[in-house]
Structure 1
Amino acid sequence: MRSVRSRTPEDMEREEGEISPRRSPSPQPQTNGKSEPPASAAEPPKTDVEMELELPPSPPPVEDILAARRAKRQAILAKYAGVASVTTSVSPSPGPSSAAQPPTPSLSVSNPVSQTPLRNGSVAPEESGELRGIRESASVSPTPQDFALAKDEEGENVNDTGAEQVLAADYDPSLDRREDERKRFGDAPQAVNWVNVDEGEDDEEEEEEEEEEEEVDDMFAIAMSDKPSKPKKKKKKATEKLNAPALITTATLDTAADPEGYYSVILGEQLDGGRYQVFSSLGKGMFANVVRARILQGEPGEVGKEVAIKIIRCQESMYRAGQKEVQILNKLKQADPEDKKHIVRLERTFEHRGHLCLVFESLSMNLRDVVKRFGKDVGLNIRAVRAYAHQLFLALSLLRKANIMHADIKPDNILVNEQKTVIKLCDLGSASDASENDITPYLVSRFYRAPEIILGVPYDPSLDIWSIGCTLYELYTGKILFPGRSNNQMLLLMMELKGRFNSKMIKKAKFGDVYFDEMGGFESVEKDRVTGNDVIRKVHISKPSRDLKARLMPPASAKISDEENKMIISFIDLLDKCLALDPGRRINPREALAHPFIRG
């Protein structure tokens, strides 16, 4: 028999403190001087010394692992003690929003969709079959301690190449909303709004004057008006002003609506028979205005909860659009019953004084406000952009699965929770089934409008990929990628970055001859610096003149880690694949979720 050293009580007590939990090492009660063997043991009974020897002591590797785990837990607690103060500064309003996961310190952004706390840094597997391998193969999104919104002062500074820059935080999308609405729907009241915008925004004058050549019943006529005639436009503009009062009268379908058909919000008003009480107004969109309200009547757990209510404009075309949005939202809700794909949730609908009302979960702010608050002029941290990109492509994967095009993705239509860790894609008023392919050059807000829309090429869900590419660039840089004043200038900026369109795409474009001559030369509409009149300049583009990489890589003087440098390079590659001029060559949501920038 092997000789063993009998352990002292001190040794036993030390092991008791190092390994937890474990059974007491004290001897078991004996019968006739012999100990009872373990139930699973096949050997004959052993002596006291042998029994003590055969107790399964933890080998050193296990002790080391347990000690490391204890140290790791202490480090995580210490780290989150510091993160709590950072989170407070990022999200001034305390407490979780009604639409977000609980603000637990151990919450991981790598699974923000399930809105379930993930403990000890573990990542819950993705249930969807096509993405399970992707989500389990690598770390997908940064953990909260790495998820800072603001950029470092010395790192992540984007090169300024001298190109025309428009700051994302200063852009007011409502300026384009009115013109897009009138061009798409031909709503008469928008003539009044257009006059107000035209008088206050000189830099929009060219495009808004071009719109006046368009007949109300022909939304495509504007595509032929890149060679304007100023006297004629001014005459038309005066005509619109004279006709405005009559248009206002015919547009008012409800005494609670303003001349444009928007509901006149009254703070403190109760809606839906006293179920909701309005306490703030969140603004207007193309189809509706949105208010924030509290639930006064409902289930015990619902009373006091905040919701967002979208009140559709009191016009027949807008009402129909609202009903269509409800159908699409319900379809997406059924396709995502566990709320894992980052599409805003529709809770219920009702009607109030002739207005269709949609009740949504309440969220904090949109991504344009996030950029304005945490990344004005410089953009957000690359890790925050990575986390938002991951969630956006999850949302797009659901849209693709449901065969739906969002058709208006931009920072204004992406909401975040109070902690700024979870986003939800909202405002599906322009969404449609992928089989609906009505050619219109004004689908999607202009700065995020894909080239196939402008050219009149049959489009598909890849138009949303283009919009996401523009949005991600904007989040990282704080600047708008394609700030064109018109569709004509948008195409020029696209070709300067990505090169010329292939002749096949131009030939099948409905509006190809509006922008290109017989030789494939681009007819750029520009302002003469002396006269201020619009002139046509022939532009022949063979290769890009603007470099995406040069605009996104930090300057040589910036001090960034190798890991961050690799992340930025993979981000540039992802944007390049999102912004392919040919929609058939763009990356799709599934490929994007497997991209190194998303996977990490």
Structure 2
Amino acid sequence: MSFDKSNTYEALNRIGRGAYGTVYKAKDRKTGNDVALKRVCVPLTEDGIPMNTLREIALLRQLNTFDHPNIVRLLDVCHGQQMEKELIMYLVFEHVEQDLATYIEKNSKGFCSIEIRNLAKEILQGVDFLHSNRVVHRDLKPQNLLVTHDGHIKLADFGLAKSYDFEMQLTSVVVTLWYRAPEVLLGLTYATPVDIWSIGCIIVELYSLKPLFCGCSEGDQLSKIFRIIGKPSEKEWPEENVSIKWNSFDVINTITIEEIIPNICETACDLVMSMLTFDPKKRVSALQALNHPFFTEEPLNT
């Protein structure tokens, strides 16, 4: 593995694979600090590096200037080997030891309500920051949420993030299946509410220690969703050319969030259900969620 500034960073070992690249743990030789190197292969056009890649890097640098506590920091961008049709680039991020999936796995006895509230709040603060900067993450899942040694959340893996105008809608299917919102599963256009749906799934997982909807296909995923939130009425079903028809679902053996998580408090359940709403227009926003009684009530049941 070689790249410009190779005398600055020493690669130690591979720690993961994201949507668009491999991530390595490395050491910054100047400071001695550990960093995370994301290796990305960029296809070159006749004009060189594609505009969308340059925009992504500009976006990361722009977000970085705010130094938000719940967003992983971009430290450097390095050009690696250039071939005829592609360029290897390395995005250098602060290194955080574990992701939320590992953190959940380690806490086999579960989390108390206060811990869940703090984790959920920090996820929402990071997402509210992205949304207020016209960025939708599009791939929120426990593997893309990092947890620091003192238990704080940092959003990572913006390989799929995209800056957008509020008039523009995003169409490509990108979110990991289990955390996908219904509009993505149906092949519809979508925007920031897809992130809110994912957070609702993640909050339930913090209570139950296992994913909420484990579908094996788009149709199966929707069936599992409707079993909990209820099948929408035919009137609510999108009129656009959806990939799956309303009458293809026969929902039986319905179950509530309270049955899945008997120890969930009333306000947490209300918050989750406001996120897991079929119609994205009726889904709560990140800012509205942060003002929900779940985060403001005192005292909170432990």
When normalised by structure 2's length, the TM-score is: 0.87
Aligned to 2:285: 588
CA–CA separation in structure 1 for the residues paired with 2:222 and 2:94: 38
Contact 2:4 2:78 in 1 (8 A): no
Aligned to 1:546: 255
Amino acid at match of 1:591: Q
More deviation, 476-485/278-287: 278-287
Q: Which has the higher strand share?
A: 2
Aligned pair partner of 2:104 in 371, 388, 391: 371
Aligned pair partner of 1:424 in 148, 154, 162: 154
Aligned to 2:202: 471
Work out whether 1:281 is the aligned partner of 2:14: yes
CA–CA separation in structure 1 for the residues paired with 2:256 and 2:156: 32
Larger Rg: 1
Contact 1:495 1:544 in 2 (8 A): no
- Report the 3-state secondary structure (helix = DSSP H, G, I; strand = E; otherwise coil) of the residue aligned with 1:353: strand
Report the alpha carbon displacement of residue 363 of structure 1 after superposing the two structures with TM. Answer: 0.9
Work out whether 1:346 is the aligned partner of 2:74: yes
Structure 1 329/460 Cα, relative in aligned 2: closer, same or farther at 3 Å?
A: same
Aligned to 1:570: 267
Contact 2:19 2:160 in 1 (8 A): no
CA–CA separation in structure 2 for the residues paired with 1:326 and 1:365: 24
- The superposition leaves residues 2-34 of structure 1 with CA deviations (integer Å, 9 ceiling, x where unpaired) of xxxxxxxxxxxxxxxxxxxxxxxxxxxxxxxxx
Aligned to 1:522: 248
Aligned to 1:437: 169
**Structure 2 regions of 5+ residues with no counterpart?**
83-87, 298-302
CA–CA separation in structure 2 for the residues paired with 1:546 and 1:509: 29
CA–CA separation in structure 1 for the residues paired with 2:110 and 2:56: 32
Report the alpha carbon displacement of residue 365 of structure 1 after superposing the two structures with TM. Answer: 0.4
CA–CA separation in structure 2 for the residues paired with 1:586 and 1:283: 32
- The superposition leaves residues 261-292 of structure 1 with CA deviations (integer Å, 9 ceiling, x where unpaired) of xxxx5xxx786140111122212122111111
Report the alpha carbon displacement of residue 509 of structure 1 after superposing the two structures with TM. Answer: 3.2
CA–CA separation in structure 2 for the residues paired with 1:521 and 1:597: 36
Amino acid at match of 1:459: Y
- The superposition leaves residues 522-564 of structure 1 with CA deviations (integer Å, 9 ceiling, x where unpaired) of 25xxxxxxxxxxxxxxx2x4x981111121113xxxxxxxxxx
Report the alpha carbon displacement of residue 505 of structure 1 after superposing the two structures with TM. Answer: 4.4
Contact 1:393 1:589 in 2 (8 A): yes
> Within 5 A, what are the aligned runs for 1:131-530?
265=1, 272-297=5-30, 303-313=31-41, 315-316=43-44, 320=50, 322-334=53-65, 336-337=66-67, 339-340=68-69, 342-354=70-82, 355-375=88-108, 379-419=110-150, 421-435=151-165, 436-440=168-172, 442-511=173-242, 514-516=243-245, 520-523=246-249
- Report the 3-state secondary structure (helix = DSSP H, G, I; strand = E; otherwise coil) of the residue aligned with 1:503: coil
Structure 1 437/544 Cα, relative in aligned 2: closer, same or farther at 3 Å?
A: farther
- The superposition leaves residues 15-60 of structure 1 with CA deviations (integer Å, 9 ceiling, x where unpaired) of xxxxxxxxxxxxxxxxxxxxxxxxxxxxxxxxxxxxxxxxxxxxxx
CA–CA separation in structure 2 for the residues paired with 1:395 and 1:471: 14
Aligned to 1:241: none
Contact 1:456 1:509 in 2 (8 A): no
Structure 1 546/437 Cα, relative in aligned 2: closer, same or farther at 3 Å?
A: same
Report the alpha carbon displacement of residue 328 of structure 1 after superposing the two structures with TM. Answer: 2.2
CA–CA separation in structure 2 for the residues paired with 1:434 and 1:510: 24
Report the alpha carbon displacement of residue 580 of structure 1 after superposing the two structures with TM. Answer: 0.6
CA–CA separation in structure 1 for the residues paired with 2:118 and 2:292: 13
CA–CA separation in structure 2 for the residues paired with 1:476 and 1:273: 43
Amino acid at match of 2:255: R
The percentage of counterpart residues that share the same residue type is 27
Report the alpha carbon displacement of residue 521 of structure 1 after superposing the two structures with TM. Answer: 1.4
**Structure 1 regions of 5+ residues with no counterpart?**
1-264, 298-302, 524-538, 555-564
- The superposition leaves residues 401-434 of structure 1 with CA deviations (integer Å, 9 ceiling, x where unpaired) of 1111000000000001112x21100001111124
CA–CA separation in structure 1 for the residues paired with 2:4 and 2:244: 50
Amino acid at match of 1:581: F
Report the alpha carbon displacement of residue 324 of structure 1 after superposing the two structures with TM. Answer: 4.0
Q: Which has the higher helix share?
A: 1
- The superposition leaves residues 125-161 of structure 1 with CA deviations (integer Å, 9 ceiling, x where unpaired) of xxxxxxxxxxxxxxxxxxxxxxxxxxxxxxxxxxxxx
Q: Number of residues paired by the alignment?
A: 286
Amino acid at match of 1:432: K
Structure 1 403/314 Cα, relative in aligned 2: closer, same or farther at 3 Å?
A: closer
Amino acid at match of 2:271: L
Report the alpha carbon displacement of residue 383 of structure 1 after superposing the two structures with TM. Answer: 2.1
Aligned to 1:236: none
When normalised by structure 1's length, the TM-score is: 0.45
